[in-house]
């Protein structure tokens, strides 16, 4: 063992090679537990422990490499020989591209006949159309192949359903319209058009001397979930923590809601407690095993954001600061 390298990355690499030799199958690397050990492996054989900061810094470098590896796809660049990771992103770009404003569904949802377009996002029915897009038909066959469009009222939405041959008693028809694996239970008759009055009242509450000011992101996020401490809340059946967050970020592109700050993102990540929260733990930015405070999650996300802001070339910042979402 004299002169054996104490480089933590090399040690982790030997761990992976040993696993592949032992199992004789590279699919073992798809197990999440393997990568948890990979990131926290202790070099006891060298008489030392790997510092948490070293694991964190290594993870942040890997995250930056991941983003830079996939960004050419979002920027529309031709890739002659895509890697397996790039191929996966090409198959489901709305899910795997690093930045949501580069995804195809965002461009479609802001096209001329879609509810987020500047010419329509102040019209009656726009808010209900946003809810339909994000909470009902998102990632469905109908959304991908037929519409992300604006529906001015319930009659227009019902006419579209009928024209597309929707049949609530046919599971194949339901599956074509609503991707149940996406965010929750499909509910066609959600009374989204009853929410327009409340939406207008919320906007009026942020008007000052006849000038409309954007609603703070955190307030809008909580309002969508019908929190009692906010007036005229919604209580829509499909707007849970994750769906409400995604809808709030959608609406922030219209200027009617403020874009989230790093602190707002930390709040949302803590509240949702899903993939992004787990990723912060894997990056060793959240070290405790028990539940973390909102402040700890906000600090952890701010660390990730600052790292990406500093390490992604400015030409990839989409005409402005790196979006926090």
pLDDT in the model for residue 229: 66
Residue 45 has a pLDDT of: 44
pLDDT value of residue 296: 92
Report the b/e string of 237-262 with b at 16+ CB within 10 A: ebbeebbbbbbbbbbbbbebbbbbbb
pLDDT at residue number 32: 63
Residue with tokens 């407690």: 273
pLDDT in tens, 136-146: 888 888 888 87
What per-residue confidence (pLDDT) applies to 264? Answer: 93
Give the span between the Cα atoms of 266 and 255, in whole angstroms: 21
Using the structure block, give the residue that is written with the tokens 């490499």. 65
The CA distance from 115 to 64, in Å, is 33
Residue among 119, 147, 129, 103 at smallest CA distance from 251: 129
The whole-angstrom separation of Cα 147 and Cα 186 is 17
For the chain, counts of helices (H) and of strands (E)? 16, 2
pLDDT value for 268? 93
pTM of the model: 0.77
> Could you report the per-residue pLDDT of 105-137, keeping only the tens digit for each?
877 778 888 888 999 999 999 999 998 888 888
DSSP state of 35: H
Task: Check: CB of residue 187 under 8 Å from CB of residue 227.
Answer: no
Q: Given this model, what pLDDT does residue 3 score? A: 46
Q: What is the pLDDT at residue 47?
A: 47
What's the pLDDT at 259? 92
As a 3-state breakdown, the chain gives helix, strand, coil percent values, each rounded to 5, of 55, 0, 40
For the chain, 325 residues long, the average pLDDT of each consecutive 10-residue run is 54 74 77 64 48 76 88 84 88 80 79 87 91 85 81 91 90 85 53 84 86 92 80 70 89 92 92 88 80 90 90 64 67
């Amino acid at each position: 063992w004299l002169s054996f390298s104490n480089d933590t990355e090399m040690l982790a690499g030997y761990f992976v090679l040993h696993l592949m030799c032992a199992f004789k199958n590279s699919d073992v690397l798809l197990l999440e537990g393997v990568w948890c050990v990979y990131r926290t492996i202790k070099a006891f054989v060298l008489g030392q422990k790997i510092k948490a900061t070293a694991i964190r810094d290594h993870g942040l470098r890997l995250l930056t490499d991941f983003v830079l590896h996939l960004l050419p796809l979002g920027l529309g660049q031709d890739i002659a020989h895509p890697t397996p990771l790039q191929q996966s992103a090409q198959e489901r770009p709305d899910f795997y591209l690093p930045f949501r404003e580069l995804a195809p569904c965002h461009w479609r949802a802001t096209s001329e006949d879609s509810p987020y377009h500047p010419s329509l996002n102040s019209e009656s029915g726009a808010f209900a159309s946003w809810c339909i897009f994000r909470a009902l038909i998102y990632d469905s066959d109908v959304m991908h192949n037929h519409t992300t469009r604006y529906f001015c009222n319930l009659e227009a939405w019902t006419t579209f359903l009928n024209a597309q041959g929707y049949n609530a008693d046919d599971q194949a028809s339901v599956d074509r319209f609503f991707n149940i694996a996406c965010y929750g239970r499909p509910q066609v008759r959600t009374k989204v058009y009853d929410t327009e009055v409340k939406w207008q009242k919320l906007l009026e509450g942020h008007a000052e001397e006849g000038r409309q000011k954007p609603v703070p992101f955190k307030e809008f996020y909580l309002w969508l979930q019908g929190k009692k401490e906010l007036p005229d809340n919604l209580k829509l059946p499909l707007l849970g923590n994750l769906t409400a967050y995604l809808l709030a970020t959608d609406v922030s592109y219209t200027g009617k809601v403020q874009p989230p700050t790093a602190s707002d993102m930390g709040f949302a990540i803590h509240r949702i407690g899903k993939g992004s929260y787990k990723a912060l733990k894997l990056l060793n930015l959240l070290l405790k095993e028990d539940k973390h405070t909102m402040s700890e999650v906000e600090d952890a996300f701010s660390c990730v954001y600052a790292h990406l802001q500093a390490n992604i070339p400015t030409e990839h910042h989409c005409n402005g600061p790196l979006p926090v979402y």
